[in-house]
Amino acid sequence: MPKRGQKLYIRQATPEDIPAINALVAKVYKDMGPYTPDQLRGQLNHYPKGHMVAIYEDTVVGYSASLRASEERALAKHNWRQITGAGYGSTDDPDGDWLYAYEVCVDPDYRGLRIGHRLYSARRKLCVDEMLKGIVFGGRLPSYGRRRKQYENVEAYCEAVRERRIRDPVMSFQLQQGFECIGVLRNYLPSDRESVGHATHMVWRNRAVESSGNKTASAPDRPANVVRLAVVQYLQRGIDSFAEFAKIVTHFVDAVADVKSDFVLFPEYFAFQLLSIEDREMSPQDSIRRLADYNEQLEELFQELAIRYNINIIAGSHPQITASGSLQNVAHVFLRDGSVHEQPKIHPTPGERYWWQIEGGDVVRAIETDSGTIGVLTCYDSEFPELGRHLVNQGAMMLFVPFSTEERNGYLRVRYSAHARAVENQVYVAIAGNVGNLPRFHNMDIHYAQSAIVTPCDFPFARDGVAADTTPNVEQIAFADLDLDALYQARQAGTVQNWKDRRHDLYEVLWRGPASED
């Protein structure tokens, strides 16, 4: 169920945004001057799709501008005034086969939120959606002006950046984003004093102009429709403070974000270690309700991490007190746009019901993300095939299973169920569990896990249906790149076609619970 809406997102710019864009550009380029309102109006009118704003808490904090250009024009030598029509975007060519990106700026007060990464991803997605050959632009060189005496010419400076002997804040970032420098555009923008008027001639080539299905905000190192998943096999151990817990979690999020993962999955009840802060024994009922007191802090932590590190986080599950005063085990999904979703566990285990009085939820809802539609089945829920089928009926292509099991038998029930859900629904399934020990806390004192990312069993997929897994009972991260197009192809033309061959004339999954809320 959705709990909170978008906080940071990219959308198409509108004329109503012009004053805010103008103020942003003036703030970013203090020595160069902002666009005039007329120029911005021209940019938005000539190619509306090519102009995007980043919104954070209802404030414009980023802007990017693009137009379409022919290959002959985009790849030839040019300057900024020529290619942009003096900043009006009036040179947009509806028949152009390249996206020419002539502006991107980010409010310096918000640079810790990876807004530049998001704008670049949005441009790549636009390029794929419009079936263009790639993206071209003239890139700034803000460190060149103060370093120019150390180099023979601007070409030598660019070569030093390309070879990583020095770092330029703009060019280095663009190289990390998958762009290649094909030359230097001399006297590109004379008013750019930091760059001494010069610019790099940067190109990103679209390798997937015919991509189909759900298009993702792809990273530069992989095609659209390929998503990168990470699962964290988390070690339970005693800690001294919430700050220590936050430091551990941030380490994992930072690590998976560094390799541009789209999703990271944490285990069920993995925040249980917070109870070790109090260093005392508690009854099962007292411990689970005390753990529920951390909900607000956990939500603030994970929402901030999802936004700051530009990654979708399935933050395991956590006990939550309902409006009626009962307890549920609720999985939380924090998307990188700042929105928050909840998925209650439908089937508490006998131990959860007996020791903690956990009650089951009654809604199972697919969640739309920028990298495909997903669903969450917490531990025991993965062992009920109707729930997975209900999520896939709603369009889920990936199922995430946070789990917590004490010994190998329990783990294998989850693992084998994950493989079954992947085969019968032709979807990807990721599972993540706890390892280590947490003495004095019943039902969470010992753990066994081997986390994994599993696939259908057919030729396009991983051998043995395992895209990635971990060493049992060792704190670890596993990664896998998953091609969503391969699922569509398998469903339509695979060796077997479980999804397509269902006998709708004989059986169906009928949900009798309350309807999911939007």
**Each residue's pLDDT tens digit, 47-106:** 999 999 999 999 999 999 999 999 999 999 999 999 999 999 999 999 999 999 999 999
The answer to whether 143 and 149 have CB atoms below 8 angstroms apart is: no
Query: What is the spatial distance between Cα 251 and Cα 245, in angstroms, rounded to a whole number?
Result: 10
Query: What is the spatial distance between Cα 195 and Cα 148, in angstroms, rounded to a whole number?
Result: 9
Does the pLDDT at position 439 exceed 60? yes
User: What percent of the chain has a predicted confidence (pLDDT) above 70?
Assistant: 95
Query: According to the model, what pLDDT value does residue 208 have?
Result: 61
pTM of the predicted model as reported, rounded to 2 decimal places: 0.84
pLDDT digit string, tens, across residues 156-187 = 999 999 999 999 999 998 998 889 999 999 99
Does 247 participate in catalysis according to the annotation?
no
Report DSSP letters for 306-365, one per residue.
HHHTT-EEEEEEEEEE-TTS-EEEEEEEE-TTS-EEEEE-SS--HHIIIII-EE------
pLDDT digit string, tens, across residues 184-216 = 999 999 999 999 999 999 999 987 654 444 445
Which segment of 45-49, 219-223, 408-412 scores lowest on mean pLDDT? 219-223
DSSP, collapsed to helix, strand or coil, labels residue 187 as: coil
Active-site entry in 127, 158, 181, 379:
379
Strand order in the sheet with 466-469: 367-369, 372-376, 398-402, 428-432, 452-454, 466-469
Q: Average pLDDT in the 378-407 region?
A: 96
Query: What is the spatial distance between Cα 91 and Cα 435, in angstroms, rounded to a whole number?
Result: 59
Q: Average pLDDT in the 419-443 region?
A: 90
Query: According to the model, what pLDDT value does residue 214 have?
Result: 45
Does 379 participate in catalysis according to the annotation?
yes
Active-site entry in 181, 260, 268, 352:
268
pLDDT digit string, tens, across residues 369-389 = 999 999 999 999 999 999 999
Q: What is the CA radius of gyration of the chain?
A: 25
pLDDT digit string, tens, across residues 134-150 = 999 999 999 999 999 99
- Beta strand 367-369 with 2-4 is unpaired
142 against 1, higher pLDDT: 142
Which segment of 165-174, 255-264, 440-449, 481-490 scores lowest on mean pLDDT? 440-449
Active-site entry in 345, 352, 457, 475:
345
Query: According to the model, what pLDDT value does residue 274 have?
Result: 93
Give the CA-trace dihedral at 176, 178, 179, 182, to 10 degrees. Answer: 100
Query: According to the model, what pLDDT value does residue 442 have?
Result: 67
Does 3 participate in catalysis according to the annotation?
no
Query: What is the spatial distance between Cα 207 and Cα 513, in angstroms, rounded to a whole number?
Result: 44
| Mean pLDDT for the chain overall | 92
Q: Which amino acid does the sequence have at 24? A: L
The answer to whether 202 and 173 have CB atoms below 8 angstroms apart is: no
User: What percent of the chain has a predicted confidence (pLDDT) above 90?
Assistant: 80
Q: Which residues contact 516 (CB under 8 A, 6 or more apart)?
A: 1, 363, 364, 365, 394
Residue 422: exposed, middle, or buried by beta-carbon count in 10 A (0-12, 13-18, 19+)?
A: buried
* Maximum pairwise Cα distance, the chain: 79
